[in-house]
Amino acid sequence: MHTTKNAGLTFDRFFATTERHRWELETGIDWAAIRPELITENERRVLHGSALVESFTPGYGADLLTAFSEDVEMSSFLMVQLYEEFKHFHALRRYLRHLDIEVSDEQITRKRGERVVYTNLLVPLLKFGISELFTAIAYREIARQTQEPVLKHLSTCISNDEYRHLGWYVSYLKGYIKKHEIGVTEVNEALEHYEHQGSDAIGGDWSDHWNFVGEKYTRLEPYLQLKRLLRSLVGKGVKLRSMGQGTSPQLRDP
């Protein structure tokens, strides 16, 4: 049985915070106020790719709920996270329609039926936990840089959700590493198999999307934060070099 008691952040605390900070899709976003003329071509490109990543949530959910089916705390968290991630997709898809950009059903479902089986749970914990760090920073920077007011508000809402998800993964990871006495060697081995979850959704165009978002929005910030975090958990010697190359769908569970 894969069970880790999350001493730092219980699901009750996480859910209470979620309820306090939940934003309303219908009444909290002023869809009629969108000003398409203020959106740049780069923003259109990034939002379309981001919507595709968020649209893959049902596929991620099938894999993760299977992997953590015997862990009540984690599976409870996942039910909330998966709802919020698909809410992000629904919101981005609606926003893009105001720009006359369609995310088709074919794009959404083309790889959704493919499954990933995780036998080493450290791999999905890093894969999805790390991805929250990248997306939280990216949406934060989209909100900061855009001139379109509705996108600024929507991106802030999404970023806040992602930071809250990240807080859970960090707390859970701390407990998991402590319980299983995981050291730097195991973390580095798992990082060798890292791939951002977006590569599942976007496929062949993922590397271009990853590199562009990194250049435009995140730069080195998530790598530096991640290195500090992992060093605090397992000590020096954490190697992140392979992460930048971790976009291939061939890199799966060890």
The count of structural domains within the chain is: 1
pLDDT in tens, 150-200: 999 999 999 999 999 999 999 999 999 999 999 999 999 888 877 777 777
Residue 54 forms part of a structural domain: yes
Predicted local confidence at residue 90, as pLDDT:
97
Residue 15 forms part of a structural domain: yes
Residue 130 forms part of a structural domain: yes
Least Cα distance to 87 among 18, 137, 142 occurs for: 18
Instruction: Enter the tokens of residue 228.
Output: 């500090």
Residue 254 forms part of a structural domain: no
Residue 5 forms part of a structural domain: no
CATH number at residue 96: 1.10.620.20
Q: Quickly list H helices, the chain.
A: 11-21, 41-55, 57-67, 72-98, 105-109, 122-145, 149-179, 184-192, 198-202, 206-213, 221-234
Residue 3 forms part of a structural domain: no
Q: Name the stretches of the chain with pLDDT < 70.
A: 1-7, 242-254
Predicted local confidence at residue 254, as pLDDT:
35
